[in-house]
Structure 1
Amino acid sequence: MQHLQEVTNILADVLSLGDRKNSLKADSVLLGNIPELDSMAVVNVITALEDHFGITVDDDEISAQTFETVGTLTGFVEQKLAE
């Protein structure tokens, strides 16, 4: 997961996590664990990922599983980069 740190930084920036960013690891649960990650924040995170990585995410590609952990989100980004 070569983009784990970048995804973590984007999550921390968009969600204004401050020092809590340091506790985010690949297996850190996102949905239901980070109160700031509501439906509007998900949209903002996706937009930030698209801008940072130069990818395009279609609405039908996003599921709760994508945002299950930091690792699943990073894996999704890396899959999009490989397309």
Structure 2
Amino acid sequence: MDITSEVVSVLDEVLSLNGRARTFSLDTPLLGALPELDSMAVVALITNLEERFGFCVDDDEMDGSVFASLASLVDFVTRKMGG
């Protein structure tokens, strides 16, 4: 499984980006740069990532740095999966 493409797929789906997420590079900023990524979307995104990848996220693991860029989000998912 390619974690980056799966994360991009979840982003695109949850934020209703209609394919825009596929144009993102790893250094694409997310939080603060995407108007679609508000606090409610963050919750939906975490829930979808948990379901897609089969891990659980504790509240104390979440801060803005996880959503700073596509790379930071992919790194977070990779760590949660034991990579």
Shorter chain as denominator, the TM-score bin is over 0.9
Matches within 5 A, 1:1-80: 2-80=2-80
Structure 1, unmatched stretches of 5+, are none
Mapped partners of 1:76, 1:22: distance in 2: 19
Counterpart residue type for residue 20 of structure 1:
R
Displacement of 1:25: 1.4
Q: Which has the higher contact order (CA 8 A, sep 6+)?
A: 1
- Return the offset for 1:22: 2.5
The residue type paired with residue 78 of structure 1 is: T
Distance in 2, matches of 1:79 and 1:30, equals: 19
TM-score by length of 2: 0.94
How many residue pairs get matched?
A: 82
SS of residue in 2 equivalent to 1:41:
helix
How far residue 13 of structure 1 moved from its aligned partner, in angstroms, is 0.2
Q: Separation in 1 of the partners of 2:47 and 2:73?
A: 13
State the shift of 1:78 in Å. 0.4
CA-CA distance at 1:24 after TM superposition: 1.1
Q: Distance in 1 between matches of 2:22 and 2:10?
A: 13
Which consecutive aligned stretches of 4+ in structure 1 deviate over 3 angstroms post-superposition? none
